[in-house]
Structure formats: C-alpha cells, structure tokens
C-alpha cells in the first residue's frame, strides 16, 4: 500500500514539475513573442507610477496579454525598479520584453509633445508638435512668434508630462538676436555674462531640457564653431588672401548673408576672393546694413544713398578689404566655402529673380544682368499694384 501511495505521489510531483516547466516555457514565449497591440500608441508614464499599476494599464490598452506575466518578466530581468517617467512610442505587436526595455532605459521621450524654439534672423518662432503614433510623424498643433499673441492653449501644452524641447538656430542669425531670444525663452535658467563676439556661435539644432543654463549653451556653441573653423582652416585652399582664421569667419558671414542657395556658396566666395586679390572693394549690401544696425534689427528696406555714403568699419563700398568683424554667425557650409571656394574669374553677381544670382566676369556683362533684374523687380511691383 505504502509503495502505491509513494508511487502515486512521485507521479504527481513529476506531473507538477512538468506542468510548472510547461507554464514557464509558455510564459517566456508570451513575454518575448509579439504582443496583441493592433496599432501603435503613445504610452504616458507618470511620476510615481509602479510596475504593477502600469502592467494593468498596458493590459487595458490591449498592449499585453497578461499583466502578471509582464510583472514577472520585469522582475526576472531586474527591471522593476528602473521604471522611468515620460512618453514612449509602442509599436504595433510590440513584445512585453521590448516594452520593458523602452520604459526602463530612460533618455529623451520618443513620442508625445515637442516644443521647438526656432531662432531666426528677424524673429523667434515657437512651434508645438505632437506625434501621431500610427504614422510616427509629428503633426503641428500651434505656431506663433515668441512673446506675440501667445495662444491660450500654450499654457495647457506646458503642463503635459515629458515635453521634449528643441532649439533650432538659423544660419546667418546675429549674436545679438540669439542672446535676445535665449533671454526670452523660459525653458532656460541663468544669466548671459556678455554678448558673444559676432560669428563665434555655431548655428545648429540642440536638444534642451527645462532649466538648462543659457551661458552653458553659448559656451557649447562657441566650442562647436571653433572646432568647425579650425578643421576648415587646416584644410584650406592654397593662395587665399586670408591671413588668419578670423578673416575666414568674416568672409563666411558675408557669404551666408548673400546667398541661401547651397550650390552658390562656392561661387559667391570666389567673387569675394577674386576682389580681395585684385584690391577691389567687396561692395556687399549686408555688410553696410550691419554697420547701421549692428545686428540688432532687420533694416526691412533697401539701402538709401546716404547710408551707402556713411563711412563705418563695415561699409564695403567705401573701404577695401574685409569689414571689421563678421556680420552674422555663419554655418559650416559657408565656412567651408570661404576656405575652399570654387575656382572662377567672376567679379560680380546680382539677383536673378529665382532666389539665386547671375554671375559676371566683366562690368558690362554685370550691367546687363542688373538690367534684367530691374525688369523683374518692375514686373513684381506692377503685379502687387494690380
């Protein structure tokens, strides 16, 4: 009898062991295999959320097949205490294992609301975008100029969890306008110690966080511009009429303000280089304008005769050579163009009506190009009147 009982007990233990093993294999498959999520979602994890409460939320959203298995998997992989607050994009059919990785690794939010401050030449634009999980693309929700007619909805936007902030600085923006914008953006903290020298800031896009220090960002931008300039200087073309790196920065700022077309930078650079070599005044309007405004505002109109005759260190009609300082903060491509210009014999250029320029070797050829441009200007004025 006792042998029969022992045999039956042993058999039960074996069955239980097999059952537990099968359940473990099944649970592991459930944790690592594709999940039931039919469409991508943006998962918001609030501060103070526990893995237990989150597992229930995920189950209710049909993102996982079992809250218990999700918790056990997180516990088994030692991730339970690593849960991060934020907004996380969960793709269609994502596994529990991948969800666990996403919500515990930290870093920038992968979905939700994004606020971009775009510092431009004349104004700073605030753009609010929100990701559509189904397309993984951001859709614009609000756009307005910083400090002007702020939409009521913007205050509500700022209450959202895990907002992602970015700063985008346009090439050709002056140091004054950059500092003015940074002082007006509430995301930042700290004081700017002094206005950076013109041209020494690298215009770029930056991921920023609430409370970032303004002066620290400017220091980072200075270091980036110095690195770009030094690398380009070391690889510069031979026989350039530039004696120091600062000269290259000045020339790059003129190129930046004269053309917005990437394929023209090298040609514009060649005109200025040719003029410098031949001792011909550069005669560039943006430099004259800087002498009047010092980069604090846009002129908003054409230059007057009296302004062209006003002698400033930036008047390249009255003075030969480069102006006193850069007239804006040039981007990488303009710096490269200044130090590796296209080879040409061009000495003149004028707008051609398409957003680009017509280049000329001789003055008579240039005058024909100017006449063509005047015709285009006249036609546009007539169209506006009509």
Question: What b/e sequence results for 351-366 when a residue is b if at least 16 CB atoms lie within 10 Å of its CB, and e otherwise?
Answer: beeeeebbbbeeeeeb
For residues 119 and 185, the answer to whether their CB atoms sit within 8 Å is no
d(CA 1, CA 4): 5
d(CA 37, CA 58): 10
> Mean pLDDT across the stretch 331-340?
97
d(CA 208, CA 214): 10
% pLDDT > 70, the chain: 90
> 3-state SS of the chain: helix, strand, coil percent to 5?
45, 15, 40
- Which segment of 13-22, 101-110, 242-251 scores lowest on mean pLDDT? 13-22
Per-residue pLDDT, 20:
65
What are the residues facing 164 on neighbouring strands? 114
Tell me the DSSP string of 271-311. HHHHHHHHT-----HHHHHHHHHTTSS---SPPPHHHHTS-
| pTM, entire model | 0.78
% pLDDT > 90, the chain: 55
Question: Radius of gyration over alpha carbons of the chain, in Å?
Answer: 31
d(CA 262, CA 292): 27
Closest-CA residue to 169 (of 198, 128, 135, 205): 205
Q: Is the pLDDT of residue 251 over 50?
A: yes
More confident residue, 201 or 54: 201
1-46 pLDDT per residue, tens: 545 544 555 556 655 665 666 666 666 888 888 889 888 888 888 7
Collapsing DSSP to helix, strand or coil, 85 comes out as: coil
Tokens 């693309």 sit on residue = 137
For residues 258 and 284, the answer to whether their CB atoms sit within 8 Å is yes
d(CA 202, CA 170): 10
> Mean pLDDT across the stretch 92-113?
83
Per-residue pLDDT, 5:
47
Mean pLDDT of the chain: 88
d(CA 189, CA 169): 18
Tokens 């020298």 sit on residue = 197
Per-residue pLDDT, 367:
95
280-306 pLDDT per residue, tens: 999 999 999 999 999 999 888 888 999
Q: What tokens were used for 196?
A: 């950076």
Give me the helices (H) in the chain, please. 2-32, 51-60, 67-76, 96-105, 153-157, 175-184, 214-234, 245-258, 265-278, 285-293, 305-308, 332-339, 363-385
Q: Is the pLDDT of residue 345 over 70?
A: yes
Chain centroid, CA 323 distance in Å: 30
151-199 pLDDT per residue, tens: 888 887 777 666 888 999 999 999 999 999 999 999 999 999 899 999 9
Question: What b/e sequence results for 85-118 when a residue is b if at least 16 CB atoms lie within 10 Å of its CB, and e otherwise?
Answer: bbbbbbbeebbbbebbebbbeeeebbbbbbbbbb
d(CA 366, CA 377): 16
């Amino acid at each position: 009898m006792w042998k029969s009982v022992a045999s039956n007990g042993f058999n039960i233990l074996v069955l239980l062991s097999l059952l537990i093993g099968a359940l473990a294999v099944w649970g592991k498959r459930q944790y690592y295999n594709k999940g039931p999520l039919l469409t991508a979602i943006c998962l918001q994890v609030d501060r103070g959320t526990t893995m237990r409460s989150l597992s229930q939320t995920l189950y209710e959203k049909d993102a996982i097949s079992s809250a218990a298995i999700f918790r056990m998997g997180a516990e088994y992989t030692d991730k339970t205490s690593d849960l991060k607050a934020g907004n996380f994009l969960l793709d269609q059919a994502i596994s529990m294992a991948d969800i666990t990785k996403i919500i515990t690794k930290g870093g920038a939010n992968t979905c939700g609301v994004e606020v971009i401050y775009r510092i431009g030449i004349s104004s700073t634009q605030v753009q609010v975008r929100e990701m559509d999980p189904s397309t993984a693309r951001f859709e614009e929700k609000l756009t307005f100029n910083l400090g002007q007619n702020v939409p009521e909805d913007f205050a509500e936007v700022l209450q959202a969890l895990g907002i992602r902030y970015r700063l985008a600085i346009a090439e050709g923006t002056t140091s004054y306008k950059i500092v003015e914008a940074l002082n007006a953006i509430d995301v930042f903290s700290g004081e700017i110690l002094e206005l950076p020298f013109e041209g020494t800031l690298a215009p770029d896009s930056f991921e920023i966080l609430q409370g970032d220090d303004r002066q620290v960002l400017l220091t980072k931008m200075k270091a980036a511009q110095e690195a770009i300039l030094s690398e380009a200087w070391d690889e510069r073309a031979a026989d350039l009429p530039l004696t120091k790196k600062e000269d290259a920065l000045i020339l790059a700022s003129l190129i930046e303000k004269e053309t917005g077309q990437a394929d023209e930078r090298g040609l514009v650079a060649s005109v200025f280089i040719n003029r410098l070599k031949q001792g011909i005044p550069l005669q560039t309007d943006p430099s004259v304008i800087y002498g009047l405004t010092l980069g604090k505002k846009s002129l908003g109109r054409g230059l007057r005769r009296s302004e062209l005759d006003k002698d400033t260190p930036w008047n390249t009609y009255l003075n030969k050579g480069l102006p006193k300082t850069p007239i804006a903060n040039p981007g990488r491509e303009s710096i490269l163009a200044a130090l590796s210009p296209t080879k040409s014999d061009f000495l003149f250029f004028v707008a051609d009506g398409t957003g680009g320029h017509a280049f000329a070797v001789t003055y008579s050829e240039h005058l024909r190009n100017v006449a063509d441009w005047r015709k285009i200007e006249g036609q546009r004025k007539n169209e506006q009147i009509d």
